[in-house]
Amino acid sequence: MRRRRAACEDSMMMLFGDEPVHREPIRPADGAALVPAWLTLEQQAWLVRRFEEWTSGPVPIRSAAVRGHRMSARTVCLGRRALAEAGYSERETDSYTPDVALANYYDDDARMGMHQDKDERSLAPVVSLSIGSACTFRFGNTANRNKPYTDLPLHSGDLFVFGGASRLAYHGVTRIHPFTAPEGCGLDTGRINITMRMTGLDGWRRPRGSPVERDPGHAPAHVSSEAVNVLARPPATSRLGGSAMTTNSNDVRQLSPTCGLRVSPLTLGAITFGGAHGMEHMGHVDVDGATELLRIALDAGVTMVDVANMYSLGVAEEVLGQALASSRDFDRLLVTSKVRMVVGDGPNDGGHSRWHILDQIDKTLSRLGRDHLDLYYLHEWDGQTPLEEAMGTMDALVRSGKIRYYGVSNYTSWQLMKALMVCERHGFVKPVAQQIYYNAAAREAEYEMIPAALDQGIGSQPWSPVGMGLLTGKYRRDRQPESGARLVDGDGTDLRIPDREKVFQVVDALEDVAARSNATITQVALAWLLTRPGVTNVVVGARTAEQLTDSLGATTLTLDESDVQQISATAPPPIRYPFWHQADLASDRLGEADRSIIATTASQL
């Protein structure tokens, strides 16, 4: 197998060379264009998930028989209603409206013979997307299968369109190149090809034996050529299935410098799931609602969902587990949970004891229907259990495979440093992330927690980024929202922002930036947080699809430096000793971690 892979890689190098792929269209013929790297890896993975859904539905994928020969490529045909699901990117294309989408799957040894689309009446372009292993695509002439033709390399993510004068050109796939699918495209082997086409056959059937009558009025050649030109323009962004998929390479971040786990900027928080056992004011999202939120998040590129065993005393984990089980798509999500809070009446039903952690990890995994957690947090400090016991238990869970990574939540900086010291001394696997309470109006974490994490290579994952709704614009000086908001239905005792006037000043600044940025207040609050030193990922909760969609818009919002400074200057943390002393007398020898807070302090002197 190793020899075969090396041979395939050598042949790929000979065929495609080692030059970088550019997005400038390649035009092999009049009315045809190849655009390399049209789709991002996230978009490709999204389409692979859609393909898995299409082929598991009522219309099976099949190998069609043509003139007595069974095709090696397998196909599923999707009609008009499935076109949005096929990933058609809507843009101005002279009323170009496909009526059929074909999704083909090629095994590594599959081929597609040279053929014409003779039965289709329209000369409007075929729009073709490639995902997975690269292939050699042969694009020929309109007269026969022989030369002249051009062999084109189609890589994963490439777009190929042909119409007008090239619509009836013979074309086919002569070879699949195994082991060439890029990591992250969602396909380990084989190739998926999705084509959208305006056939002109909607409600029309050609009588057997009668000649095909082209309908030039349906899609004139000049319209087709213009459509090809528009479709061949490299997009700044694409919209697949209604979810914005940015081409920004910052869509995925490393969770921390001390681990290789890559995550999206936002994590879906499941604290609103269930709504029971004293957490009714947080939300009542049921399984159907949770499934909808997971789908929206996944389609927008979110890679992680966060829950805890104490959320509704396990009900949130149960709801999340049932929602995750509803689709194979959700297997791609990273799942994190937490342990520490009191979840029962027994003397060991809380804390960081080995007994409690081992008891709760099994119950959490059972409720979630998973055999491991991707990230497991110690939810709160336990000053009575030796840290050697807590860190040793987390180390054992990592080594057993029940958890991949772990972190700490709501630790002070000295508690974090002590935990790291214990791990260093005993050779335990170290925590890689911290969850902290942090938003534009509550910035205590900037004093020690974030600088310590920066210094030690720990990623910071803020929770309550909009202050339980205070920073969304729903709460104003002169009015409160109607029943249904968290701080109206609940007592809000877990929100520690005593100076409400400061909150309203922050909201005013967020609103000012939002108006200039054509964004919502929530989006600006989240986008600001994503600019902060050490912040690698932010947890966002939602009760409704509308709330989640609003929050997800923050990932495509870029704030100007002046916008960031305006928000930052509105509610800086008060100057505390020794920060003012260091800002005054030690600013000539500051490290990166020091500057994360000293810069803020110095601006107030």
Residues that are catalytic? 311
Do 391 and 361 meet the contact criterion of CB atoms below 8 Å apart?
Answer: no
Side chain identity, residue 143: A
Spatial separation of the C-alpha atoms in residues 191 and 110, rounded to whole Å: 9
Alpha-carbon separation of residue 467 from 420, 522, 526 (angstroms): 29, 10, 11
Spatial separation of the C-alpha atoms in residues 88 and 98, rounded to whole Å: 9
Do 177 and 70 meet the contact criterion of CB atoms below 8 Å apart?
Answer: no
Spatial separation of the C-alpha atoms in residues 275 and 284, rounded to whole Å: 4
Residue 78 contacts by C-beta under 8 Å, 6 or more apart in sequence?
A: 54, 59, 85, 86, 100, 101, 102, 103
Centroid of chain to Cα 368:
21
Which helix (H) or strand (E) segment holds residue 528: the answer is helix 521-530
For residue 349, give both structure tokens: 């039903």
CA-only gyration radius of the chain, Å: 28
Centroid of chain to Cα 344:
35
For residue 538, give both structure tokens: 């932010």
Spatial separation of the C-alpha atoms in residues 379 and 364, rounded to whole Å: 14
The residue assigned the tokens 């197998």 is 1
Spatial separation of the C-alpha atoms in residues 301 and 342, rounded to whole Å: 34
Spatial separation of the C-alpha atoms in residues 148 and 142, rounded to whole Å: 10
Do 365 and 339 meet the contact criterion of CB atoms below 8 Å apart?
Answer: no
Spatial separation of the C-alpha atoms in residues 407 and 416, rounded to whole Å: 10
Alpha-carbon separation of residue 188 from 136, 180, 327 (angstroms): 18, 9, 19
For residue 181, give both structure tokens: 């699918």
